[in-house]
């Protein structure tokens, strides 16, 4: 499909009338739970340049959520902060490279991820259709809030400059980047979303036959009478319906041969992003890696460095590409 056709793609996702109220109430319920951020130094994973901590905080439904927090070992001025959010299959990245580049970094593990899956663990495949016929208990409700509260965790770190905060991730991490940038739009200063998942979800289930989206098709083959209910739930959670709230500078990268997150939906969500400072990087010969092997890691590194102004404490890593 040529670029002009991709750019003209129209999503079938419809924003429900109660969309804003549903998420306002969900955020309110989440914020009633005290964040209670905790850090424990991990000496084994720390090095001469970077301190690494096991991090924990409390989130929606009072679930304890874990992650990795890393910062330069020696710093004097406040640090720019980065939130890294993981893909559907991958576990949270140990963010020592980004900390060496001069950032305080929180690599979050939302519920269902390693170290955060003792209570909620629908598995893979499983998360995408967990309680999919219930708007109020759908699996991604708490998962989304875990990502938002991970950003709040980063904001509460005393060494972090609250005016220099970024979010990044690929695939599901790309979706969560767009989500956090929407729901915390007054605080996020820069964002990078790669191959964003959870966009135009019902369309994606018809545009590809790969997992995770094939979970939707599997579910509807067993429950064909539930299609309208499933569509209603997914419209409420579709990232396409959040992104008009984004205000910060943002870059989005997609692979035009991606058979996991269809490029049509990537173009559609990019067009809907509310920021007037946005740039799309389409990679013609790439699949779901969406430019990882063509130097996009350096694009991400340079983008954040220009806006957040870190002071590196060690040799540059030469570019960063989120795991998908």
Catalytic residue set: 171, 258, 288
Q: Rounded to whole angstroms, how far apart are CA atoms 109 and 121?
A: 12
Helix (H, G, I), strand (E, B) or coil at 38: strand
- Residue 221, classed as helix, strand or coil, is helix
| Secondary structure (DSSP) of 209-263 | -STTTHHHHHHHHH-GGGHHHHHHHHHHH-GGGTGGG--S-EEEEEETT-SSS-H
Number of C-beta neighbours around residue 221 at 10 A: 8
Shortest CA distance to 202 belongs to which of 148, 156, 264? 264
Q: What is the DSSP string of 120-131?
A: ----TTTGGGTT
Q: Report which of 278, 98, 92 is spatially closest to residue 191, judged by C-alpha positions.
A: 278
Cα–Cα separations (whole angstroms), residue 293 to 129, 299, 304: 32, 12, 19
Q: Are 130 and 230 in contact (CB under 8 A)?
A: no
CA distance 273 to 119: 34
Cβ pair 257, 285 in contact under 8 A: yes
CA distances from 275 to 186, 205, 256, 269 (A): 12, 28, 23, 12
């Amino acid at each position: 499909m040529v670029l002009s056709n991709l750019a003209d793609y129209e999503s079938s996702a419809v924003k429900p009338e109660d969309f804003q109220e549903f998420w306002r109430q969900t955020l309110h319920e989440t914020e009633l739970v005290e964040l209670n951020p905790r850090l424990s130094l991990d000496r084994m994973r720390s090095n001469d340049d970077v301190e690494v901590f096991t991090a924990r905080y409390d989130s929606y439904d009072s679930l304890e959520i874990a992650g990795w927090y890393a910062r330069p070992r020696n710093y004097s001025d406040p640090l720019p902060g980065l939130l890294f959010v993981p893909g559907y299959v991958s576990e949270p990245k140990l963010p020592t490279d980004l900390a060496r580049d001069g950032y305080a970094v929180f690599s979050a593990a939302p519920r269902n991820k390693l170290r955060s899956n003792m209570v909620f663990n629908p598995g893979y495949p499983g998360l995408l259709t967990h309680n999919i016929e219930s708007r109020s208990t759908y699996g991604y409700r708490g998962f989304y809030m875990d990502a938002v509260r991970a950003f709040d965790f980063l904001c509460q770190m005393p060494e972090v400059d609250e005016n220099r905060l970024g979010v990044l991730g690929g695939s599901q991490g790309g979706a969560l980047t767009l989500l956090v940038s929407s729901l915390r739009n007054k605080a996020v200063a820069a964002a990078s979303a790669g191959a964003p998942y959870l966009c135009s979800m019902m369309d994606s289930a018809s545009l590809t036959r790969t997992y995770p989206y094939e979970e939707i098709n599997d579910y509807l083959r067993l429950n064909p009478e539930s299609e309208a209910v499933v569509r209603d739930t997914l419209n409420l959670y579709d990232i396409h319906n959040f992104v008009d709230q984004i205000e910060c500078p943002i870059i989005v990268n997609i692979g035009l041969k991606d058979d996991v997150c269809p490029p049509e939906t990537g173009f559609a969500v990019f067009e809907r992003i509310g920021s007037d400072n946005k740039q799309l990087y389409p990679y013609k010969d790439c699949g779901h890696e969406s430019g990882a092997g063509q130097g996009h890691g350096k694009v991400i590194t340079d983008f954040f460095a220009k806006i957040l102004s870190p002071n590196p404490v060690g040799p540059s890593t030469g570019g960063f590409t989120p795991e998908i």
